[in-house]
Amino acid sequence: MDFKQLQYFIAVTDQMNFSKAAEKLHISQPSLSNAIKKLEHEVGSPLLERNTRNLQLTEAGELLYERAKVILKNMEVLKIEMDEVIVHGTSEITIGAMESIKHWLPKVISEYKKGYPQMMIHLVDILGSKRVKKSLKSYKTHLIITNQIMNDEELEVKSLYEERLVAVLPLNHPLAEKDKLTIGDLSDEPFIIGTEGFQTRRDILDAFDKAEKNINIQFEIERFETAVSLVRENLGITILPENYLKGPTAKTIVQKEIDCPNLRRNVYVVYLKNRHLPVAIRQLLTDIVQFFEH
């Protein structure tokens, strides 16, 4: 029994059709049939029940299918990890990131690159808890910086910092005159909010619900940049993390503190517990955590 045989068997089982599986594997159907027969001979039991209409797994076939998927997945993971170890300090790291880290992550990377100048760093947008989990578990990213609350035994979660969520208003908005706002002040305003699946959206809706105030949602967005653009054009107001608003963005809008203790969020760095991270990648993880410890 070898890995190619297991790949062939999984393909046939997934398709439940020799012709479609052969096409997907780019081999002839007779070659695929012979490979499965040879596998059954080595196992000592039929794996598939064949009839004129369809295929069906035997009990032995069901067992082999489940185990084979794990074996092949582990081999894929091993290949990825070995490649990373072999190339060590000249490898690549992929970080999933959200918009509000733009003010501090470049500072961490700048120091890190002094020790690992050849490291190629990929920064990709990973938004929403489902995408965070999928990206890490499929080995698409090494680390993800997120405010999503992760309850998953396969993931290691380290808290980095807490930040306020603040109201964002057009420069000439009447509420800009007030020192501090309440949820009630915002309830009648046209509101810009993140789409379903975003933790910040849940936090905002929860704050309005606890204050027993309605929220007048007029726009749903995926990026804070879009929300700020809409606010700037007097199309509504929004609530965003205060760290996102640092820098040039702050001069184009008004931000106001909200008298609501629930409007805060935590930011985490998340990675896969059992994934081997080479020294160069573990160092960047350490640098990120220590940046906030100091």
> What is the pTM (predicted TM-score) of this model?
0.68
- Of 71, 86, 101, the one marking the end of a domain is 86
- One domain for residues 142 and 34: no
Residues 25, 63: one domain? yes
Number of domains in the chain: 2
CATH number of the domain encompassing residue 209:
3.40.190.290
Residues 183 and 245 in one domain: yes
Average pLDDT over residues 7-33: 88
pLDDT value, residue 102: 85
Q: Count Cβ atoms below 10 Å from residue 12 Cβ, excluding itself.
A: 27
Angle at 159 between CA 154 and CA 161, to 5 degrees: 155
**Do residues 257 and 182 make contact, with C-beta atoms less than 8 angstroms apart?**
no
Q: Residue 87 pLDDT > 60, yes or no?
A: no
Question: What is the pLDDT averaged over residues 218-246?
Answer: 93
Provide the CATH number for the domain around residue 59. Answer: 1.10.10.10
Query: Which three-class secondary structure state does DSSP give residue 238?
Result: strand
Of 53, 269, 12, give the one whose Cα is nearest residue 148.
269
Same domain, residue pair 79 and 97: no
**The last residue of a domain, from among 33, 51, 86:** 86
Q: Is the pLDDT of residue 89 over 50?
A: no
Q: Is residue 80 domain-shared with residue 111, that is, in the same domain?
A: no
Together in a domain, 212 and 181: yes
Kindly state the tokens that stand for 245.
């608003």
- Residue 109 and residue 217 in one domain: yes
Cβ-Cβ contacts under 8 Å for 62 (sequence gap 6 or more): none
Final residue of a structural domain among 59, 86, 113: 86
Range of the structural domain that residue 67 is part of = 3-86
Token pair recorded at residue 281: 């990648």
Terminal-residue alpha carbon distance, the chain: 54
Helix (H, G, I), strand (E, B) or coil at 95: strand
Which of 1-5, 182-186, 246-250 is modeled with the greatest confidence? 182-186
The pLDDT value given to residue 85: 62
